[in-house]
A and B are shown apart, each in its own frame.
Chain A
Amino acid sequence: MNELVCKCGHVNKEGSELCLQCGRTLTEQAEQRKTSDVMRYEGMARRSQTYKRSVIDRIWNFFSSVKVGVWLIVITLVASAIGTIFPQELFIPRNIDPAAYYEDRYGLAGKIYYVLGFHNLYGSWWYMLLIAAIGTSIIIASLDRGVPLYKALKNQRVERHGSFLKRQRIYSEYVTDRPVEKLEEIGAGLEKKKYKIRKENNHLLAEKGRFSRWGPYVNHTGLIIFLIGAMLRFVPGMYVDEQLWIREGETLNIPGTDQQYFLENKGFTLETYNEGQDSDVFDATLQRVGPVAKNFQTDAVLYKREEGDIAGSANREMEPLFEQPIQVNIPLKFDGFALYQTDYIENEFHTMSFTLENKETEESFGQFTVDLFNPEQDGLYDLGNGYQVEMMGLYPDFSGFEDGEPQSASPLPNNPAFLFKMITPDKPDGEVAFIGIQQNLEPLGENEYALSFSGLETRDVSGLTVRKDLTLWILALGGAIFMIGVVQGAYWNHRRVWLKAGEDGKLYVAGHTNKNWFGLKKDLSASFEGTDLAIPEDHQELKDSKGTAKEEQERGTTGQHQ
């Protein structure tokens, strides 16, 4: 390994730009680079830049590169943006094949979108890999820079070589008869400005706000904690996000609770604002837009099942824990879980009633009611006096005939249809009628009797979101640390002033800050007050205003910088 031996005798690690001991530049390249770049990491060697031997070193160096980090972020940003062009798979209708949906709806672009996997972008392995790569890049790049920076600042010397001072953006030399006294005076002035002062052999280092240099690293720590929180969501038991559809009157187990908790829906209410009942201020709007929802509410009872009970209908005797209305933004909370009111279906068919009539005379022979979810076990509905209806088939979600047999697409009562046999005293063998919504068939020939639809009972289905998130506090902690890092780096600056009372009777003054040069100059002007010395020059400014600099020199307003 090459070591860089400075003129002062200090041995520096390979890759260093400035001597840790005296501040001399060590290489030709360092000499050429801008001072602000060299000073960013105090001229320390970024280790990754120097060893490129093993595969591990190569991986390390790859992630350590800021250039790579920036590209990873850019790629992720672009991918994330593309993911918003068409809706994600989660938000397209459930019952349609996504492959067909994207092509039908969005044409060729949709097909490409689907084939390339953008329809499920944010959960895809390659997107997660990108995020992981950014995380890795943040950790490694921070370690690679933060550790040497910390070492450099911790071990920094008061004495610096003249060339180091001269390179600084703020630098002046003064010819004065009492340089040591002046140095003390300026030092005292800086101390008043809350600089920490260190003195050694007629050298002085005044430093303030070093901790602001840790800002980016604190910020990155917060980001990593945030990512860890997001990752923990995949650990079983840490995060639950489920949907529970529950009809009025039902008691169902709450998904995600391992059959421990059950919920009863005692009733769902959807209230709207009414003219007359509610404040008059709503009237104009209500007349314009029609009904406006005021409240969505599920009156719920929470049950806990005894430990050790087994699943099944035979074992549903449970003690209620408590009862609570669930409203939007007022969830029912228990044991780390929260049930939110998020959706509803109004007026799902529950029971349907029919009247048996003679077609010709229109005489009625009684009425019966079929509970779509729990019909008579044998399907027989006795109307008395020898009149009876036998339900031969129930098709809650009638979807058509197949080989002459009615089919049901699902168990949900979306489109109920019935096959009835009407048994009457004059037709003891019965007449068969198929009854559906807007559909009446007499498959076995003309009937004398008919069933007419005479009543409907509906109930509401409440849609609840079951949510448990044990990672929230980690995300909040990560976010808070992130912000602390931002504030730390943004609102404080690391300012340093080096003073040297040279043996040649000159006083040398150099200043550096990582940002806000104006603030540093203000500090300097305050501490130079009463010393009869002009404020040190800002060479950046001089360079920026070359034209005017000449005039200034003629007027003699500048110091004695050569």
Chain B
Amino acid sequence: MQNKKKKRLVMRISILAVLLAAVSYTIYSSVVGEERNLVKAGDQAPDFELTDLNGDVHRLSDYEGKGVFLNFWGTWCKPCEKEMPYMENQYQKFADQGVEIIAVNVGESQYKVSNFANKYNLTFPVVRDEHKDVMDAYSIGPLPTTLLISPEGEVTQVITGEMSEEMIASYMESIKPES
């Protein structure tokens, strides 16, 4: 009899555990929702190949060994515009320390993008994701979104929204390769 009772308890616990696991998974998935599909910290950064305003092709995997500050932006996006000069300032400081900035414009014309780059005298590579392929590969939602990629090619952080100059500096510091 004692044995039977134990068996029943084990049975009930396992059924309830399976139900609880299924329910928690479902609710977790639905609450996290779309974000689940995003490229997130810890993921290997998807490789891409895009052309900059001078016609040079940039491939992410070529930057292995360097930290990459990958910024997705658009000319119409105010916060993007605001952080561009900050990025330019910090680029001047970090470029020779092995941190690269790649600014990916999402779907705009060469005219608009180069006008913008000229206006702010941007010296880091500004590439155009003409068909939003890379944006999709990184499942970028709102702009601006910035990904910090370690010298090993791993995404260490995803930042959505505007950044201050101090933030940019500390982010770039965080992906500096050890020398």
Contact = CB atoms under 8 A, between A and B. Distances in A.
Interface of A: 1, 47, 51, 54, 56-57, 59-60, 123, 125, 128-129, 132, 135-136, 139-140, 143, 228, 231, 234-236, 250-253, 255, 259, 310-316, 373-379, 391, 393-394, 396-397, 407-411
5 contacts: A125-B30, A236-B37, A259-B137, A376-B111, A394-B112
B15 A374 contact: no
B129 A234 contact: no
A49 B94 CA distance: 71
Nearest to A408: B76
B66 interface: no
Contacts of A259: 133, 136-137
Contact of A128 (B26, B50, B134): B26
B107 A411 contact: yes
A408 B19 CA distance: 52
Contact of B115 (A143, A316, A393): A393
B50 A312 contact: yes
Interface size, B (range)? 35 or more
Given A59-B16, A259-B136, A312-B133, A375 B109 contact: yes
A409 B77 CA distance: 8
Given A125-B30, A255-B136, A377-B114, A310 B59 contact: yes
Contact of B131 (A47, A57, A136, A253): A253
Nearest to B46: A311
Contacts of B27: 125, 128-129, 132
Contacts of A57: 9, 12
Nearest to A259: B137
A316 B131 CA distance: 10
Interface string B129-142: 11111101100000
Interface of B: 1, 5, 8-9, 12-13, 15-16, 19, 22-23, 25-27, 29-31, 33, 36-37, 46-51, 57, 59, 74-76, 107-112, 114-115, 128-134, 136-137
A411 B51 CA distance: 20
A313 B137 contact: no
A310 B137 CA distance: 9
Contacts of A315: 49
In the complex, which of the residues B12, B33, B107, B134 has the most CB atoms of chain A within 10 Å of its own CB atom?
Answer: B12
B135 to A, nearest CB: 9
Contacts of A255: 136
A1 B1 CA distance: 9
B22 to A, nearest CB: 6
Ranked nearest first, the 5 interchain pairs of A and B with the lowest CB-CB distance are: A234-B29, A312-B49, A311-B137, A132-B23, A311-B48
B26 A234 contact: yes
Contacts of A139: 15, 19
Contacts of B111: 374-379, 391, 394
B133 A411 contact: no
Contacts of A231: 22, 25-26
Nearest to A235: B29
Contacts of B59: 310
Contacts of B50: 312-314
A505 B76 CA distance: 101
Contacts of B137: 259, 311
Given A236-B37, A411-B74, 7 more contacts: A56-B12, A56-B13, A128-B23, A132-B27, A312-B50, A377-B110, A391-B111
Contact of B19 (A136, A312, A379, A391): A136
Nearest to A3: B1
A376 B50 CA distance: 20
A284 to B, nearest CB: 47
Contact of B75 (A47, A54, A316, A411): A411
